[in-house]
């Protein structure tokens, strides 16, 4: 199994039955001794495991878990719609099967909304929370209309020429690492039409805004200041309403700053996730 021709993916990958669904699940280093809980990662809309594999490969000191949503990557097409509640429950069943009790939860874009919901629905399984280039759901400040119109067009996954032509409009922030475009495109596998539509529908009407003050977890909000899809103001809203949140802004970062600003992103993640437990975390652990 490879992420691309030049990037071997060292994950253990298998099909798992969870929550009445069959899903393709990848995990890294779960069998290795670590002082850190694994990361449970929720991907962006339509994105397959390989799209974020480079991040998982770099966090060598901890486990990493993610799965392809129904109809995405190599997960079978969904037979019925789903929502954040059912997929958070499904994710918890996957953790049970893997023997993982607690995780640091992380999500990017669409997956950032899933990460928020998982932390609210499964607080005992969640240690810390990382929200990347994401929003509070339907009550968001919209991005560049040109980017949003192309974001909802599945051709960005199916048609390589379309993706290449509109990449800068879609994602922004590519001046730091122009080669990141071809690398990212090479890792993508198109979702099925039904899988893509169901993923769009899953968040219809969903917002975390009223619940944000009740996220009792240390939270890192990571945003790019050149994100054409999720403007920075959305991260400021999240960080302002989550009690224990810190906002970190990546200068020149677009929607894919996790990949284009990989060194800075990994350093930020490690600093946050490895920080000593707060008094509140110590009390909860006791």
Query: What one-character-per-residue DSSP string does 128-175 give?
Result: EEEEES--SBSSS----HHHHHHHT-THHHH-HHHHHHHHHHHH---S
Residue 82: CB atoms within 10 Å? 19
Task: Report the candidate in 125, 80, 92, 84 with the shortest Cα–Cα distance to residue 19.
Answer: 92
Annotated active-site residue 109? The verdict is yes
Distance CA 234, CA 181 (A): 25
Distance CA 250, CA 220 (A): 13
Q: Residue 280 is inside which H or E element, if any?
A: helix 279-285
Q: Is 70 exposed, middle or buried (0-12, 13-18, 19+ CB in 10 A)?
A: buried
Of the candidates 88, 109, 208, 265, the residue annotated as catalytic is 109
Give the residue numbers annotated as catalytic, written as ranges.
109
């Amino acid at each position: 199994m490879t992420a691309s021709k030049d990037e071997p993916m060292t994950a253990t990958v298998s099909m798992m039955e969870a929550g009445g669904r069959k899903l393709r699940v990848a995990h890294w280093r779960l069998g290795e001794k670590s002082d850190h809980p694994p990361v449970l990662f929720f991907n962006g809309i339509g994105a397959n495991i390989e799209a974020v594999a480079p991040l998982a490969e770099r966090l060598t000191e901890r486990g990493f878990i993610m799965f392809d949503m129904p109809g995405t990557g190599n997960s079978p097409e969904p037979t019925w719609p789903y929502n954040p509640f059912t997929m958070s429950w499904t994710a918890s069943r996957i953790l049970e099967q893997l023997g993982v009790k607690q995780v640091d939860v992380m999500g990017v874009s669409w997956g950032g909304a899933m990460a928020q919901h998982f932390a609210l629905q499964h607080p005992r399984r969640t240690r810390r929370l990382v929200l990347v280039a994401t929003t509070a759901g339907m009550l968001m400040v919209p991005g560049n209309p040109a980017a949003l119109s192309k974001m909802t067009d599945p051709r960005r996954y199916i048609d390589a020429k379309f993706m290449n032509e509109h990449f800068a409009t879609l994602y922004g922030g590519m001046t730091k690492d122009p080669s990141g475009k071809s690398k990212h495109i090479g890792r993508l596998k198109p979702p099925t039409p039904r899988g893509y539509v169901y993923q769009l529908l899953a968040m219809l009407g969903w917002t975390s805004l009223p619940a944000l003050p009740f996220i009792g977890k240390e939270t890192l909000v990571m945003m790019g200041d050149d994100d054409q899809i999720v403007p920075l103001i959305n991260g400021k809203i999240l960080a302002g309403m989550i009690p224990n949140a810190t906002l970190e802004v990546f200068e020149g970062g677009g929607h894919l700053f996790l990949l284009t600003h990989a060194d800075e992103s990994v350093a930020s993640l490690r600093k946050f996730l490895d920080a000593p437990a707060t008094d509140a975390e110590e009390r909860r652990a006791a």
